[in-house]
Structure 1
Amino acid sequence: MRLAERMTEKQLKAVTKTRACGGVPGLVVKVVKLKDGSLAKYFILRESTINRIFTLGRYPQMSLADAFKKAADWKVKIRQGIDPSEEEKALKASLRRKSTSGDDRLTFEQLVYRWIEFNEARGRWNNPSKPKKEVWQGFFRNHIPDSIRMCPVEELKPEMFAAALGEKWRTMIDTPERILSDARQAIDWAIRSEFVPLMLNPAQVKDGKLGDLLPLVRAEGGHEPALPPKRMPLFFAELMKLVPVSQTARCLAFAILTAARNSTAREATWGEIKETEGQWFHVIPRERMKVKGEKIPFDRKTPLSPQALELLNTAPRIGLDPKAFIFPNINKGRNSPFTRDSVRALIKRMHDKQKAIDGIGWIDPEQTHAKTGKPRIVTLHGCARATFNTWAKDASGYGHPAFAKDLRESCLDHRNESYQCAYDREQALGDMREVFDAWGAFCFSQIK
């Protein structure tokens, strides 16, 4: 029997009727229409050898990668004569008994939320658009199994974290690292606070047993792929065609024009756009910036070029709430910013379209995938930061005035609290405006 081609995440999101996932025989995504008209998607394993159908989980609470892994694991158990669904029920019942039987030991989930509350009370993680508790609710929902979530902290083992996150450690760039970093810090805090007995931290990667258990191969990180500056005007011309119908495209364009970091652009609010003496700025609170030092006595200000200002003037806006996001994710509600993945998906679609035209697409010719050897597709951060800096350094190459290194660094908000930066009390806003005005004109140079 011919096995269907393995389904991709993009295909799964677009599925509207039940179909095979491929990859693992019998794995199916079942689509059910709910009363409110929305579609629910469930991963089903049909095992013909014993004439059984197993429900593995619901998407997106269970990822496609996890469904493939679980289906493959369950098929092995079925061949061994084990009923995996009964085994899973028994495990969950055991965990529930532990949590409700008067055992007052701290579970991992309870510890994480207690650790978050402790640190928030001290003023840490002051980001109302992305509360730490909501981040961890997502981690528990999508990445951490009940066997860890409901386990007493003192019974956690490195092997449990390795089993749950090993594949993600190999294929995902930062999520498993963030999970394990927070888990390590929370458990260390519990030990210091004597909430749990003295123990070796099971989430310790560096110099810990968990580091010996996790795969050595990691997803590619390093520098973000950036577009060569000479290709930016054409890229921008194609991007601006999408702006009237895509808030994600408008967000990407704004990020590039303001040399913004990823979250700085995605989480920008209308209250951050301010006018001073006839000049417009994006004024970003210092706590939202990467450099948050208390000794830096001013918020980050980015002069808005005419092109950046026009993007804002033509952006749809509902109401006058200053806390409303400039680039809201309508699909998730008006007070939700776009995710990194939505911007990546937009650039990937642009790349595929351009590659069909010129055989190249929007890639960084200096960076290649370690496995495939193919050039890497550019990112928001690479285009908004590296491409901008490369352009700004080459005055004669791109026909703009020479910009001093300190000025370029100020435009990128590359600062520290020592040496000459310790004496800065304000940014060189006039000179910065010249840089961003020239950058905006360059980006729009092929737009008619």
Structure 2
Amino acid sequence: MRLSKTMTERQLKSLSKTTACGVVPGLTVKVVKLKDGTVSKYFILRATNLNKVLTLGQYPEMSLSQAFAKAKLWKEKLNAGIDPALEEKDLKSRLAKKQKLENAFTYEKLIYQWIEFNDKRGRWKNKHKTKTQVWEGFFRNHIPEDLRLCPVTDLTPEMFCEALREKWKTMVDTPERILGDSRQAIDWAIRSEIIPPMLNPALIKNGKLGDLLPLERGSGGHEPALLPKRMPFFFAELMKLVPTSQTARCIAFAILTAARNTTAREATWEEIQQDDEGNWLHVIPRERMKVKSEKIPFDRKTPLSTQAMELLREAPRIQDGCAYIFPNINRGSMSPFSRDSVRSLIKRMHDKQKKIDGIGWVDPDQVHAKTGLPRIVTLHGCARATFNTWAKDSSGYNHKSFARDLRESCLDHRNESYQCAYDREQALGDMREVFQAWADFCFQEVKAKDC
């Protein structure tokens, strides 16, 4: 193809009619005469393979040298079958969208601003896992990016339903916690005039979201637990994992102390203390317990059996000042293990056991809503329900009879009868006897195999 003579900047300035630029075939300066007598000059590129004319830019915002460079690049893309004009339009659209999101008051920004507001007011007391950390997990594991980055005023019940529909059917409390916090945060933003008045899209009761979410819910009720007679066998398998698994050690400690999931996972070394007689206790600040100080005016103290203390003595100590007894070393953050880590280990134990006996570690009285099969046990169920069932049946499990109030004290349950208003301490001596008997029971098969 014959090229026109290369145009110069001087020629371009005085140009009065459409003229080819040279250098790049098809590159032309289009001169448009306006009604007021002035002219505008545009760099255009003829794309013969697309049968269209592409506009590169307007002079003088785009210089002649820039036009040559852009025309050469676009020509290469045209030869490769790419429409550079559409590509540029798409890029500008994505950049504009990104800029809009950066400037917008998004759902994610709302949540963190609401948390910061309430943090300053002292609303949340958990020092081991902040509300911010909880929501970092929610955003990471449960909330898709399109919802996270959506401007608050554009949120709809349909978006929440789409994001949480399946979790609503399979998970017990996480979706409700997400929607509950979201509902409060949006109401707060409206009251604070951060956003204009709007129907709260996270409202379930008397809200559209309640009509959209499925009626089927995750299995609630009691946590699946082992029959006490199977606990020694479960414990024997668990103890095989303890030397190489901090998660297994944490589960074993939780069962021996009848601890709640979070209480065990977030246990710290400074909470392991001795009383005046040299007996070891797990002293848990009341704010870390389910029943707070407004109902029980003293910290929770759990007497530690000899087996529980042995677990702690053999636990690896991290030398960089990590406070947690069971830190998640693998992630490098020295944070407590997640609930998912505990659940995953028990699931692996179940799968292994099922290959052996065809049953696994299940609660025969808890049936999965979808499959109709017995549900796999949980840490909470084994540490508390199995313990309580064992403690109530002195004849069946050949131990001393333990009074109901003593069992409730071991579980840190609050009896609502009036005499509890006079409680100022736990029956630690009797509790120590209970936990030692429980540990001896759990270790029956471990001891038998060691002999």
Asked if structure 2 preserves the Cα contact closer than 8 Å seen for 1:227 and 1:363, the reply is: yes
The one-letter code sitting in structure 2 at the alignment partner of 1:292 is: K
Pair 1:232–1:141, CA change in 2 (3 A): closer
1:149 partnered with 2:148:
yes
Asked if structure 2 preserves the Cα contact closer than 8 Å seen for 1:327 and 1:337, the reply is: yes
1:296 partnered with 2:296:
yes
1:330 partnered with 2:305:
no
SS of residue matched to 1:282: strand
**Rounded Cα–Cα distance in structure 2 between residues aligned with 1:174 and 1:125:** 19
**Rounded Cα–Cα distance in structure 2 between residues aligned with 1:335 and 1:414:** 31
| Structure 1 partner of 2:346 | 347
- Residues 278-289 of structure 1 aligned to structure 2 (within 5 Å): 278-289=278-289
- Residues 39-438 of structure 1 aligned to structure 2 (within 5 Å): 93=95, 95-99=97-101, 106-277=105-276, 278-319=278-319, 321=321, 324-333=323-332, 335-415=334-414, 419-438=418-437
Asked if structure 2 preserves the Cα contact closer than 8 Å seen for 1:297 and 1:425, the reply is: yes
The one-letter code sitting in structure 2 at the alignment partner of 1:96 is: K
Q: How far did residue 239 of structure 1 move?
A: 1.1
Asked if structure 2 preserves the Cα contact closer than 8 Å seen for 1:256 and 1:383, the reply is: yes
User: Pairwise CA RMSD of aligned residues?
Assistant: 2.4
**Rounded Cα–Cα distance in structure 2 between residues aligned with 1:274 and 1:234:** 30
Structure 1 or 2, whichever has the larger Rg, is 2
SS of residue matched to 2:274: strand
Q: Render the CA deviation track for 1:97-153: whole Å, top value 9, x for unaligned.
A: 43456x6xx432222111101111122222233221122223233433343333332
Pair 1:275–1:155, CA change in 2 (3 A): same
TM-score, scaled to structure 1: 0.75
The one-letter code sitting in structure 2 at the alignment partner of 1:442 is: F
**Rounded Cα–Cα distance in structure 1 between residues aligned with 2:325 and 2:287:** 19
**Rounded Cα–Cα distance in structure 1 between residues aligned with 2:136 and 2:90:** 22
Q: Render the CA deviation track for 1:392-448: whole Å, top value 9, x for unaligned.
A: 011111111111111111100111676222211111111111110110111111222
Sequence identity, in percent? 73
The one-letter code sitting in structure 2 at the alignment partner of 1:203 is: A
Q: How far did residue 357 of structure 1 move?
A: 1.9
Gaps of 5+ in 2: 1-86
Q: Which moved more, 1:187-196 or 1:379-388?
A: 187-196
The one-letter code sitting in structure 2 at the alignment partner of 1:303 is: P
Asked if structure 2 preserves the Cα contact closer than 8 Å seen for 1:291 and 1:416, the reply is: no
SS of residue matched to 2:444: coil
Pair 1:153–1:241, CA change in 2 (3 A): same
| Structure 1 partner of 2:444 | 445
The one-letter code sitting in structure 2 at the alignment partner of 1:310 is: E
Q: Which moved more, 1:151-160 or 1:395-404?
A: 151-160
Gaps of 5+ in 1: 1-84
Q: Render the CA deviation track for 1:262-302: whole Å, top value 9, x for unaligned.
A: 01111111011001121100011111111113342211000
Pair 1:274–1:284, CA change in 2 (3 A): same
- Give the paired residue count: 360
SS of residue matched to 1:203: coil
**Rounded Cα–Cα distance in structure 2 between residues aligned with 1:371 and 1:290:** 31
Q: Render the CA deviation track for 1:249-271: whole Å, top value 9, x for unaligned.
A: 11111000000000111111101
Q: Which moved more, 1:214-223 or 1:243-252?
A: 214-223
The one-letter code sitting in structure 1 at the alignment partner of 2:318 is: I
The one-letter code sitting in structure 1 at the alignment partner of 2:217 is: R
Q: Which moved more, 1:273-282 or 1:88-97?
A: 88-97
Asked if structure 2 preserves the Cα contact closer than 8 Å seen for 1:129 and 1:336, the reply is: no
SS of residue matched to 2:224: coil
Pair 1:199–1:431, CA change in 2 (3 A): same
Q: Which moved more, 1:334-343 or 1:233-242?
A: 334-343
Pair 1:379–1:203, CA change in 2 (3 A): same
SS of residue matched to 1:226: coil
